[in-house]
Amino acid sequence: MRRSFFVLSALALSLVVIGCSQKKPSAPAPEPAAPIEVPKPEVREEIPEVVCEEVRKEIIIADFDSGAKPNNIGGDFGSWDKDPGDTTQGASMAFNPDQKYGKDGFCLELDYDVDTQNPAYNGFWMKLKDIDASAYDKLVMYIKGDDVKGYPQKVKIELKNARGETGKAYITQISGTWAPIEVPFSSFQGINDFSDLTEFTVVFEDSVSRPKTGTIYLDNIGFARD
């Protein structure tokens, strides 16, 4: 009986040892997680903004409405003489509120005197600040002669540029009432480039000014295109 007990005990111990020696099956490895797709930011093509400024049909350089310097684009102006030391000839300017063109402001009054035995010419100058007038095709202004003081039948005007060119033309449509003047750029002899204009001048010449003393009025000087 005791032998049987020992045999059964040994058998049970063997079963316990065998059971302990067996490894538990490992859990299956988890499948790798699917990659998360991050949406790419939308790339928008940058289109540069283009602002097109339409060129006005007319630009006024000087309307003299303030009765003071400078002109409408910041340029200085004044009268000039061929020979400042020659007191027998000369030119002067003033702002005149009574003879103006239109209802408001002033016009420019130019008084001239070339009545002398000496060669004489004088007039008016105005700086144009290197303005680009290439988009226009003519000089415009209003002009009037003084019926009491007299006025010339012919006045020379000039346009100068930064290249040293001087364009010359003559105005003959002068009367005792305000009249619009248009001088095509093609009428200015001696200048080809209107992209950097530096100066506008009025010239009273003793050879063509009749009478040799007088007064004209100018207003609304500018550039225009058709």
User: What's the pTM?
Assistant: 0.76
8-33 residue pLDDT tens: 444 444 434 444 444 445 555 555 55
**Tell me, what's the pLDDT at 10?**
45
Q: Residue 221's closest CA among 204, 197, 205?
A: 197
The domain limits of the chain are 58-224
Q: Is the peptide bond before 70 cis (omega within 30 degrees of 0)?
A: yes
Q: How far apart are CA 155 and CA 150, in angstroms?
A: 13
Across 144-152, average pLDDT: 98
Q: Are 192 and 185 in contact (CB under 8 A)?
A: no
User: How far apart are the C-alpha atoms of 117 and 214, rounded to whole Å?
Assistant: 17
In tens, the pLDDT along 101-147 reads 999 999 999 999 999 999 999 999 999 999 999 999 999 999 999 99
152 within 8 A of 187, measured Cβ to Cβ: no
What is the CATH architecture assignment of 58-224?
Answer: Sandwich (2.60)
DSSP notation for 196-220? SEEEEEEEEETTT-SSSEEEEEEEE
Choose between 157 and 22: higher pLDDT: 157
Averaged confidence pLDDT in the chain: 85
Instruction: Return the closest-CA partner of residue 146 out of 104, 96, 192, 102.
Output: 96
Q: In this predicted model, what pLDDT tens digit does every residue of 182-209 receive, in sequence order? A: 999 999 999 999 999 999 999 999 999 9
